[in-house]
A and B are shown apart, each in its own frame.
Chain A
Amino acid sequence: MIRAVDLRKSFGGKDGDAVEAVSGISVDVGRGEAFGFLGPNGAGKSSTMRMIAAVSPVTSGELRILGMDPAVDGPAIRGRIGVCPQEDTLDTELNVLDNLYIYGRYFGLPRAEVRQRCEELLEFVQLTEKAKSKVEDLSGGMKRRLTIARSLINRPDLLLLDEPTTGLDPQARHVVWDRLFRLKQQGVTLVLTTHYMDEAEQLCDRLVVMDKGLIVAEGSPAELIRTHSTREVAELRFGIGENETVAPKIEDLAERIEVLPDRILLYTQNGEEAIAKVHERGLDPAMSLVRRSSLEDVFLRLTGRTLVD
């Protein structure tokens, strides 16, 4: 469905002052797959998505969407994909049904056909009762569902979702996940960006972690955890200021140790065993727990804990 080889995107000046947002990534997404781009803000996820959506021209490298070249067949590609952008881009002064209807018309679908699809899609995203409401008056979650419904009006082979649940409350997120999961079951290829690890674990069969315009890791969520983290993590709290002094005494107990202001993280295959050894050495943490490694650990390891804007 998507094949990218050494894909690059830069903005701005023609020569030296150009900013490179995507610095040479290669990905392959197959039919029916749910594929995720993870990364902190500014990693190049949205730029990549805009190129895949056949909207933003590729600076260099090769890109094929549904076997077509976006530089040549942009409209044909866009006719067969669905796009759920980061910002809803709805016409807030029109009502819910009108927003859906006019969008269907952009694809050149006959009016009666669009009307019928609108009905089905409003049902699918549970907005049938809101059909005549102005978009302005909808909650964030409802707008997102409408945007998802809109992206499905052309019955796309490939659905692109740029941060589909950012800014939604937990209830709304779960409704969106549920709908996306159903689409996946129907065989729609999903490509999404997110910086929520739970979202990636829930939805993605396979994902890449991007940082500073490059892919830094690739695999299924389980593979990534296996490759880039340990099976378990032991978290120990010794009290403010003590963590740093204790750390050197226990660092040999784990494959990797991380000292944070409020706690120490021991990355290990067996967390209980590590904690037992800590106690054997006469150290008595105020609190300790063992948990499984998560995608979040992988993510933070690969992209760092430093805040990026």
Chain B
Amino acid sequence: MTRAGYKQDRAAAERKTYSTVTRQMPGVIFLCMLLILWQVLSQAIGKPYLLPSPLSVLESLWENRREIFLVHLPATMEVVAIGGVLAVLSGSLFAILMDWFPWLKRALYPILTWTQTIPVMCIAPAFVLWFGYTVKMRVIVVILVNFFTVTVNLYDGFASVRPERIELMRTYGADRLQIFSMLKMPTALPYFFTALRISIPWSVIGAAVAEWLGAQNGLGTYSRSCMMNLDAAGLLAPLLVLTAFALLMNALLGMIERRVLYWQE
């Protein structure tokens, strides 16, 4: 690379960094203002069991770090991971089947849409009755929360293929399997990643709610026990961990997405 070219690239990189910082700045400033307001309000009210300050939440997190990070976080992550993977697998399988068999799509799609009007969080107590306070119950809640999102997004991805492209492949002699693997799958990939981006926070929420209903371990359980003891700072500390975890997972997913969908604008 020439010296001039290097300078141009460096200037472009600096401009890009500057524009990213400028874009993020209003959000960061607003968040800082909210935290300051929260701190001031909490000190003004002076009742930490009602409104703990952000600093006291951090303090509680630090004091109970061993219990939170070594006992409860792994338990929640286990449910998120198992439930999330099973939701993605089962949702993908249903989307593929609905695309492959149009009669199945006609039979299932309306029911799937209809089931979305039932809030899973509200029927979750029924799962406690059927499966008890088990990991199985919590995993089922996570699966149900995400199944529809994965199925419908992926199916819409398959359906978004331009018919002209299918016909072009048919003129080359492509069979159904080739059309699916060489055209429909790559077309649906951006939709699949959208489903994953939605599913990550919902898996975390689903797992936490299921733990609230009853479990031996987990951040939801920890949060609930803090509520019973009127420990508001302890109640909010696990939420901070869950939020950070969901954000981290989304950032990781974004990196994978950019690598996999390298061909997009």
Indicate, yes or no, whether A interacts with B: no
